[in-house]
Amino acid sequence: MSTRAAERPNVLLILVDDLKPTLGCYGDVHAKSPNIDALATRGMRFDLAFCNQAVCAPSRFTLMLGSHSTSTGLYGLGSQLRQIVPDAVTMPQHFARHGGYYTESLGKVFHIGHGNYGDPDSFIAPHFREKVIEYVDPASTDGGKLTREEAYFTNQKLGQIRSLPRGAAFESPDVDDTAYADGRVALETIRRLRQAKKRREQDGTPFFIAAGFARPHLPFSAPKKYWDMYDPATLPMPQHEDLPEDAPAVAGKRGGEITNYKPCPTDRNAEFSDELKRQLIHGYYASTSFVDAQIGKLIGELDRLGLADSTIIVLWGDHGFHLGDLGIWTKHTNYEQANRIPILIAAPGVTMPGSSTRQPAESVDLFPTLAELAGLPAPDGPQPVDGVSLVPVLKDPAARVRDHAYHAYPKQKIGRAIRTERYRLVEWRPWGDADAPAEYELYDYESDPLETRNLAADRPEVVASLRNILAQYPQPVDRNAPTTAATSPKIANRPLTIAGSVRKASGDGVIVAQGGRQHGYAVHLLDGRLAFDVRVRGKVTRIVASEDTPNRFDFEATLTSDRMTLSVNGKSVADSASPGLIPVQPQDGMNIGRDELSAAGDYPAPNPFAGKVVQVKVTPGM
């Protein structure tokens, strides 16, 4: 090990899933988070920190690459890093190559699930994988059955999700911390810290350890003692449960992830009872306290080992979480509660203990910041590096390296946002058309922190100023050029013929899809066989070929009011009663080779096709 490597600081990167600033150190008087609060007293708290996309997998890519999702095209839960950016150099790879670091990952670091397998190439040590969706009480899983979200996160039965039972949204058994994954991740991280100290004493090798915790991601499964810390009657209930007045329809959300958990309503427009809201909010706070305790164990061990003075500690939430505000649950929006995150940085000799800043910070900034703190070259790709170093701010909380943060969310339109200390502007524009008319949202967090009304029409001068900032960013990467809803075939209440040609099929995936979680269709390969899915009012009807499909084939799928058919190379391979015609025009546009937004079929989006689609033609009848 070189002398320079032996002098470098260690890095302990703590990642927490779905954690927004419901923490004592951020002023939440209800939260019981003594260990994270104590960490904040060691360094700097970023009061205006934001993720770059409020979805687990893309957010973690932005952290590890220093790149906006709009720069890479890594937009989805199933987006494959090495398919889309094959030569990317991630943060741990940079530290190993340029600083001689021994790099390790434990728990939820890269997103694994929804057809994604993380990035094993990023770390030197094999990944210590643990569960994200986990239950102890058999009643939570209908007696031990595989639930929908368990299947998603373990890449099981991805084509059969809707046939699986829903797991419980919360449970609180009287068990030890290690009954759940986060307790086991903490225990193993402590063991790795001890090994890392011995390695450093033997040959000077610095460590880079990324420890990822699953809670407070749903389900809110946490030992009873953490639930008992709270009186649910005293916890804050949502103050405003309507979507912002005058906001574009594309910006809102109802249903989504939460509907995969019982007893939450499956109807995306159904009301949640006050009792259920309170149980969910209680569960979120209890889960946060559970994770806080695990983080306390890591920091305590770091102190016991005498490593605190030579280790940079970072705490990062991958995105925020809606707890019924605006009538929304979980994340997947461009609104404040989904995008504001905690970032704490304790850098011995650099950060002032107990300091804070209102510098707008982004997830992408942590890569260049940590590289500079470790004395490494600034990251330079080959992926686009959008982050800036926050080291000047760590040295002086009043310093500024930019006057805003940027984030985005992909739907049937791409929504890109600029967040300043006071305002957020969101521009919703059709994919792949920078000249198309856009819809705008503007929120003033001084006068309207709850985002009750879109002010874009009232304050055109503010919109113009923030649009000028947004114009400085490159146009978003349009992964596989998904067709917009406006230019997709008009299929509502019309029979359909979907025909095409495929060459070099080497695996499964979507050939063509149009629509999403409520209505649409998809032709795809499943276990090597051609399948045709039709979704009506959220329910999928599927027909599948009885034999494996060749790697070169032509196909035709038809939908009428009473039949679904499927043929390969002119031969009928499946035929069944249909659910009827698709009754409304889907919001999500047509995609070829993947299903970019919400899934039209019964599979996790984007479900990219392993092969070449030569031609597709969708012909609506009369």
Whether the Cβ atoms of residue 53 and residue 405 lie closer than 8 Å to each other: no
* Residue whose tokens read 């790099």: 103
> Which entry of 25, 51, 56, 264 is annotated as an active-site residue?
56
Cα 110 versus chain centre, distance: 10
| Element (DSSP H or E) covering residue 11 | strand 10-16
Cα 47 versus chain centre, distance: 21
List all residues 6 or more positions away from 403 whose beta carbon is below 8 Å from its beta carbon.
360, 420, 421
Alpha carbons 591 and 605: distance in angstroms, whole number: 11
Q: Rounded to 5 degrees, what angle do the CA atoms 119, 122, 127 make?
A: 70
| Element (DSSP H or E) covering residue 44 | strand 44-50
> Which entry of 25, 68, 94, 111 is annotated as an active-site residue?
111
DSSP strands (E only) in 130-206: 167-168, 170-171
Whether the Cβ atoms of residue 241 and residue 325 lie closer than 8 Å to each other: yes
| Element (DSSP H or E) covering residue 410 | strand 405-410
Q: Among this protein's residues, is 111 annotated catalytic?
A: yes
HSE-up (13 A, CA, CB side) for residue 500: 22
Q: Among this protein's residues, is 56 annotated catalytic?
A: yes
Mapped onto helix, strand or coil, the DSSP state of residue 132 is coil
Q: Rounded to 5 degrees, what angle do the CA atoms 384, 389, 393 make?
A: 155
Alpha carbons 190 and 200: distance in angstroms, whole number: 15
Tell me the CA distances in angstroms from 15 to 92, 182, 370, 380, one per residue in order.
Answer: 14, 11, 15, 23
Report, as residue numbers or ranges, the catalytic residues. Answer: 56, 111
